[in-house]
Amino acid sequence: MTYPKARIPTDPVLCTASFSGPDRQHVPSVTDVDHVVHVTSGRMAIGLALQQMQVAAFDEILLPAYHSRSMVEPVIWFGAMPVFYRIKADTAVDLNDVAARITPRTKVLVVVNYFGFPQDLVALRAFCDAHHLLMLEDCAHASIGAHAGKPLGSFGDYAIASTMKFLPVYDGGCLVSSRNRLDHVKLVSAGLKFEVKTAFNTLEKAFAYGRMKPLAALLSIPMHLKNALWGLLKSRSAVDAGPVGPRASDGGFGFEAQWLDKKASVTSRLLLATVSMPRVAEARRRNYLRLQAALADLPGCAPLYPVLPEAVFPWVFPMLVDDPDTCFPILKHAGVPVIRFAEFLWDGLDESVCPVSVDLSRRVMQFPCHQELRETEIDWMIERIRTILLATPVSMAMRSTKPLQASA
């Protein structure tokens, strides 16, 4: 099923205001952790983490049954065995189930701070220590935030983040560790073509959503020239036929090992260093609360999390919907930037492994709350969501949202 492009940006797009934020105190972030390396995606950071943990063939890696396939692919690439554990209805790790799945081959427990909301990381750290497991903290949804007074990413033996999910960059992922040095990890540049592509892509995305209009006008001739030149280069050289960027940047789930030793682009690292994080943090909380308030009275749906705790800077607004099969495609066709990050679970993962995960992968819809959404865009999105959800059969029957109730 192909849907039209979203009418408003699903992910952050660069705008002139991206750099000027409220002058407030430091926003806690995974990059506060002592040892940091910047790669091209979150999944490459997972790959490097597995390498650092010396994961070998047939080692068992405990992964949550509620996941993105891009987390499983690196495990498969290393020849290790993914073992899926259950999560609870509030997305907390089910430690009883994890304990039951530990074998002498179990090496790593991967925990996800879903949507920016931290797990009980102190308890998880203690559990891993007690069971001699390495902990990989997946902060792909939680580049910024803190828990128990420490930045996210500092609880795991290693942690990863996906810069693309938080900032207006084409590529970017971080591997961090509070416990192990990373300066021996040698990364190389992906080359000039990649650098050019990442710089232009950031601008093109911004221009496509009407951002930075004066610059768009100024650059319109150079951009056309670049496209012409690009087309010419492609038609001339057969050796250059492959993609210039990682597919991780274009919405795929696969693991392309040739990116494992590649540095994040200069553009990505530059923007990570210069974009105003207080602005990102403040806008994400504000937009999240706005969506929550505006959608609270809709029948047949409820926010996945009842409250937004302090020091949580959400990736998206996750909403539990009774009748996703009807409204998800309608929302998509209307150009609403709705996603389900766990829409496609790993092959064979069904109710017998974790009924909650199967249910959440269908019913949790995520709407953007990122810093670059304009007031008018949020108004439009809220109006579309309300109209579409009120018109679906579940809403009309005024059924209440009950977790795990299978909708017919």
Ligand X SMILES: *Cc1c(COP(=O)(O)O)cnc(C)c1O
Q: Closest CB to ligand X among 33 and 389?
A: 33
43 versus 363: smaller Cβ distance to ligand X: 43
We find the least distance from the C-beta atom of residue 307 to ligand X, in angstroms, to be 22
Q: What part of residues 67-126 is at the interface with ligand X (CB under 6 A)?
A: 68, 70-71, 112
Token pair for 18: 């991206």
Least Å distance, CB 339 to ligand X, is 10
What are the distances in angstroms from CA 29 to CA 153, 176, 263?
A: 8, 11, 20
Which one among 168, 173, 300, 368 touches ligand X, defined by CB under 6 A?
173
How many chain residues touch ligand X (CB under 6 A)? 15
Binding mask 33-72 for ligand X (x = CB under 6 A): --------xxx------------------------x-xx-
Of 18 and 366, which CB lies nearer to ligand X in the complex structure? Answer: 366
Angle at alpha carbon of residue 205, lines to 200 and 209, rounded to 5°: 145
Q: What's the 3-state SS for 25-68?
A: CCCCEHHHCCEEEEECCHHHHHHHHHHHCCCCCCCEEEEECCCC
- Of 42 and 151, nearer to ligand X (C-beta) is 42
Does 284 interact with ligand X (rule: CB under 6 A)? no
Task: Kindly indicate which of the ranges 52-60, 138-146, 220-228, 396-404 contains the residues binding ligand X, using the contact rule CB under 6 A.
Answer: 138-146
Which is nearer to ligand X, 251 or 348 (by Cβ)? 251
**Separation between Cα atoms, residue 157 and residue 179, nearest integer Å:** 6
| CA distance linking residue 322 with residue 359, whole number of Å | 10
d(CA 26, CA 139): 19
Nearest to 340, CA basis, from 330, 355, 328: 328
Kindly state whether residue 245 participates in binding ligand X, applying the rule CB under 6 A. Answer: no
| Min separation Cβ 179 and ligand X, Å | 20
- Toward ligand X, which CB reaches closer, 160 or 334? 160
Does the protein bind ligand X through residue 322 (CB under 6 A)? no
Nearer to ligand X, 354 or 388 (CB): 354
264 contributes a contact to ligand X by CB under 6 A: no
10 part of the interface to ligand X, by CB under 6 A: no
In angstroms, how far apart are the furthest CA atoms of the chain? 62
The only residue of 30, 140, 327, 365 in contact with ligand X, by rule CB under 6 A: 140
Of the candidates 50, 98, 144, 164, which one interacts with ligand X according to CB under 6 A?
164
9: exposed, middle or buried (Cβ count in 10 Å: 0-12, 13-18, 19+): buried
Instruction: List the alpha helices (DSSP H) in 58-149.
Output: 69-77, 95-101, 121-130
Minimum CB distance to ligand X, residue 75 (Å): 12
Q: How far is the CB of 333 from ligand X (least distance, A)?
A: 24
372 touches ligand X (CB under 6 A): no
Q: Is the dihedral of CA 203, 206, 209, 213 positive or negative?
A: negative
Residue type, 250: D
* Rounded-to-5 percentages of helix, strand, coil across the chain: 40, 15, 40
Q: Does 262 bind ligand X (CB under 6 A)?
A: no
Rounded to a whole number of angstroms, the distance between the first and last alpha carbons of the chain is 22
- Interface with ligand X (CB under 6 A), residue from 52, 106, 162, 178: 162
CB-count exposure of residue 396 (10 Å: 0-12, 13-18, 19+) = exposed
Q: The sheet that has 301-303: what strands, in order across it?
A: 301-303, 316-321, 364-368
Does position 276 bind ligand X by CB under 6 A?
no
Q: Is 147 helix (H, G, I), strand (E, B) or coil?
A: strand
29 or 68: whose CB is closer to ligand X?
Answer: 68
Nearer to ligand X, 43 or 362 (CB): 43
DSSP-assigned letters across all residues of 259-312: GTTBBPPHHHHHHHHHS-HHHHHHHHHHHHHHHHHHHTT-TTEEESSS---TTB
**Residue number closest to ligand X, CB atom:** 42
Answer yes or no whether residue 272 interacts with ligand X by CB under 6 A.
Answer: no
Q: Binding to ligand X by residue 201, rule CB under 6 A?
A: no
**361 binds ligand X, rule: CB under 6 A:** no
Interaction between residue 341 and ligand X (CB under 6 A): yes
Answer yes or no: are the C-beta atoms of 331 and 338 closer than 8 Å: yes
* 167 scored as a contact of ligand X (CB under 6 A): no
Sign of CA dihedral 8, 10, 13, 17: positive
Residues binding ligand X (CB under 6 A)? 41-43, 68, 70-71, 112, 138, 140-141, 162, 164, 173, 248, 341
